[in-house]
Amino acid sequence: MAIHRHRGLSEDVYGAIFNKLMSLEISPGARITVDGLVRELDVSQTPIREALGRLEGEGLVVKTHLVGYSASPQITRRRFDEIYELRLLVEPNGAGRAAQRIGDEQMGLLKDTAEQMLKLDSIRDRLSYSRFARLDAEFHDKIMEIAGNEVIHDMLAHLHTHFHIFRLMFHARVTEEALTEHASILAALSSRDELGAERAMCDHIERSHQRLLPAFV
Ligand SMILES: [Zn+2]
């Protein structure tokens, strides 16, 4: 797939490689050569190196001295469980705080993210799956931002948990059920229901954990 040259070139190159990684078109652990991507995307080395550097920061790519780039291996079962343990510790509490603090403008932005996810769910191809993963990350990130603890917000943002979780499995059920659960979270947030938001977030994270477990069978 050739990429047309325009001002958003870096962003497009990054997006194209991100999609390949998220949809497992580039398999976990596989070598990634800059020259290969130069040919495939029909762009120069510079935006590709930039994109790979950014993806390295997000933990999706690893750079090894003298060897070069490769796709990060899938997370282990242990890491997977630990991510969910951490999320359960902080995100339900964050959703409860967000319910106390959320303003109309923030509610609007959150609803907008949820609506974009709803539209993508009807498409169900590999590209929309990787967009869905990013929007899910955004949805949870916004809630933690509204919750107001910057240290917790930064910590979760740096872990990029959603990218690693979504890369485990390409599955329609993952997206479909998450949308219903997001709707419950939104409903509790919009009625400023602290306990309801906490429960809905807890329920969503526990179910998400269960949904992705088959990736390890
Ligand atoms: Zn979610």
Distance of CA 74 from the midpoint of ligand 1 (Å):
20
Distance of CA 182 from the midpoint of ligand 1 (Å):
6
* Model confidence pLDDT, tens digit, residues 88-122: 999 999 999 999 999 999 999 999 999 999 888 66
Distance of CA 62 from the midpoint of ligand 1 (Å):
26
Tokens, residue 6: 């325009």
R_g of the chain computed on alpha carbons? 18
Instruction: Report whether pLDDT(7) > 70.
Output: no
Distance of CA 7 from the midpoint of ligand 1 (Å):
32
Could you tell me if 141 and 160 are in contact, meaning their C-beta atoms sit under 8 angstroms apart?
Answer: no
Distance of CA 36 from the midpoint of ligand 1 (Å):
34
Tokens, residue 158: 């740096």
Tokens, residue 62: 């690893």
Q: What share of the chain has pLDDT > 70, as a percent?
A: 93
Distance (Å, whole) CA 205 – CA 48: 34
Distance of CA 56 from the midpoint of ligand 1 (Å):
23
Distance of CA 138 from the midpoint of ligand 1 (Å):
9
Tokens, residue 112: 């907008």
Instruction: Report whether pLDDT(24) > 90.
Output: no
Could you tell me if 69 and 34 are in contact, meaning their C-beta atoms sit under 8 angstroms apart?
Answer: yes
Instruction: Report whether pLDDT(149) > 90.
Output: yes
Nearest to 117 by CA among 63, 203, 183: 183
Distance of CA 112 from the midpoint of ligand 1 (Å):
14
Distance of CA 61 from the midpoint of ligand 1 (Å):
23
Distance of CA 91 from the midpoint of ligand 1 (Å):
11
Distance of CA 57 from the midpoint of ligand 1 (Å):
22
Tokens, residue 162: 């959603």
69 phi, psi to nearest 5 deg: -90, 150
Distance (Å, whole) CA 56 – CA 65: 13
Long-range contacts of 71-78 (CB under 8 A, 24+ apart): 71/21, 71/26, 71/27, 71/28, 71/29, 71/30, 71/32, 72/28, 72/29, 73/28, 73/29, 74/28, 74/167, 74/168, 74/215, 75/164, 75/165, 75/168, 77/216
Nearest to 132 by CA among 145, 114, 146, 144: 114
Distance of CA 11 from the midpoint of ligand 1 (Å):
24
* Model confidence pLDDT, tens digit, residues 197-211: 999 999 999 999 998
